[in-house]
Amino acid sequence: MAEKKTLGGHDKKFLMGLLTSMHRIRAFEEKAGQMYGLRKIGGFCHLYSGQEAVAVGVISALDLSTDYVLTGYRDHGHALACGMDPKAAMAELYGKSTGCSKGKGGSMHFFDAGKHMLGGNGIVGAQIPVAAGVAFAQAYRGRLAGGRPTGATVCFFGDGAIHQGAFHEAFNLAGIWKLPLILVVENNQWGMGTSWKKVSSNEDFSAMAGAYSAHGEAVDGMDVLAVFDAASRAVKRAKEEGAPALLEARTYRYKGHSMSDPQKYRTREEVEAYRCRDPILLLEGRMEEAGLLSDKEKEALRAEAEALAEEAAAFAEASPEPAAGELYTDIYADRETGGQAPSEASWLS
């Protein structure tokens, strides 16, 4: 019997899953950028192109039946990696009623409770204390049952958020209370138009973990397998020991901070240098060398991802706008009234 081929201890099925997810995110973002240019999408739009290995590598290490994900405003990739329907994602960008947040959230507020993706956040770093709260609930419920945390919580944010007070306050509490919280800083080199090196006295963000009695690790954010391995170690510690962690994924965004960014702060040469280490091409090359990926399979993955993105755009285009009455829903937590206050409910009756 022929020996089964693997790469880094991972079989072809797992590797193809990683590659498929990264391709789908890339194709979705390319289509979103195109539709924004055609004015089908309004407001802010923050694309994730180039950073796919971080979302896919980390989220592939989770069990989304018990674990949770929170993120910031560059949230498309995380949502899709969690399994969000690309149609619901694109419809949200279009502001349509079939969107994942009923067309009310837009690019920065993707949400899918069923997939344990507890949303993007438009305020820099504001998701971090919320994630600490989710991790607290997991730890508390586990202790009530006399055991370990009921799961782990992962919180993604950019290098621009790591100097926010919310990060330090939440991380400190996670260390004190032994919360199963994994903080993932996606260091894509630029906080809007400012280099991270100009605003940080410490060039190793992962070292900050030591101040909060937590594990810290820096990882190549362009290498999905390296990200997966680091995340797996952090998740294991979080679930078994209630130990928080900080992962610094050193990555790069190919597009501007948002679609309105002229990108005058960086050179084409810098962007191209990072594109030479594209996370998709990097994994494809390693799989080809290991005899785990053919040209035919590679082309099929790209075609499938592009077709899904096209279908998502067509679905969003054909979907209806939110009804006027939706202005008054999802404001309050009362599910019986659909989020409406009683007086508002009577206005619409």
CA dihedral 55, 57, 63, 67 (to 10 degrees): -40
Q: Which of 98-107, 119-128, 197-206, 338-347 has the lowest mean pLDDT?
A: 338-347
> In whole angstroms, what is the distance from residue 189 CA to residue 193 CA?
10
pLDDT given at position 294: 97
Question: Quick check: 278 pLDDT over 50?
Answer: yes
pLDDT given at position 261: 59
pLDDT given at position 196: 57
Place of tokens 């193809």: 16
pTM: 0.91
DSSP reduced 3-state for 10: strand
pLDDT given at position 1: 45
Q: In what order do the strands lie in the sheet with 153-158?
A: 68-70, 153-158, 181-187, 245-250, 215-220
Model confidence pLDDT, tens digit, residues 138-159: 999 999 998 999 999 999 999 8
Residue 108, token pair as written in the block: 């920065």
Query: 165-177 and 127-144 helices cross at what angle (nearest 10)?
Result: 10
- Top-ranked range on mean pLDDT: pick from 202-206, 298-302, 326-330: 298-302
* Angle at alpha carbon of residue 249, lines to 89 and 245, rounded to 5°: 100
Question: Quick check: 307 pLDDT over 80?
Answer: yes
pLDDT given at position 193: 59
Question: Sign (positive/negative) of CA torsion 282, 288, 292, 297?
Answer: positive
State percent of the chain over pLDDT 70. 89
pLDDT given at position 347: 46
Question: Quick check: 286 pLDDT over 80?
Answer: yes
Encode 312-326: b = buried (16+ Cβ within 10 Å), e = exposed: bbebbeebeebeeeb
Mean pLDDT of the region 180-204: 76
Model confidence pLDDT, tens digit, residues 213-254: 999 999 999 999 999 999 999 999 999 999 999 999 999 888
> In whole angstroms, what is the distance from residue 157 CA to residue 124 CA?
8
DSSP string, 201-246: S-S-GGGGGGGGT-EEEEEETT-HHHHHHHHHHHHHHHHHH---EE
The 3-class SS string of 85-145 reads CHHHHHHHHHCCCCCCCCCCCHHHCCCEHHHCECCCCCCCCCHHHHHHHHHHHHHHHHHHC
> In whole angstroms, what is the distance from residue 58 CA to residue 262 CA?
30
> In whole angstroms, what is the distance from residue 256 CA to residue 174 CA?
33
The 3-class SS string of 49-91 reads CCCHHHHHHHHCCCCCCCCEEECCCCCHHHHHHCCCCHHHHHH
Q: Which of 12-21, 66-75, 128-137, 334-343 has the lowest mean pLDDT?
A: 334-343
Question: Quick check: 343 pLDDT over 70?
Answer: no
> In whole angstroms, what is the distance from residue 133 CA to residue 43 CA?
30
| Nearest Cα to Cα of residue 22 among 47, 46, 57 | 57
> In whole angstroms, what is the distance from residue 54 CA to residue 219 CA?
10
Query: Over the chain, what is the mean pLDDT?
Result: 90
pLDDT given at position 349: 45
Confidence bin at 272 (pLDDT 50/70/90): confident
Model confidence pLDDT, tens digit, residues 71-102: 999 999 999 999 999 999 999 999 999 999 99
Domains within the chain, CATH numbers bracketed? 12-318 (3.40.50.970)
pLDDT given at position 3: 60
Alpha carbon 87 to its chain centroid, in Å, reads: 17
pLDDT given at position 189: 72
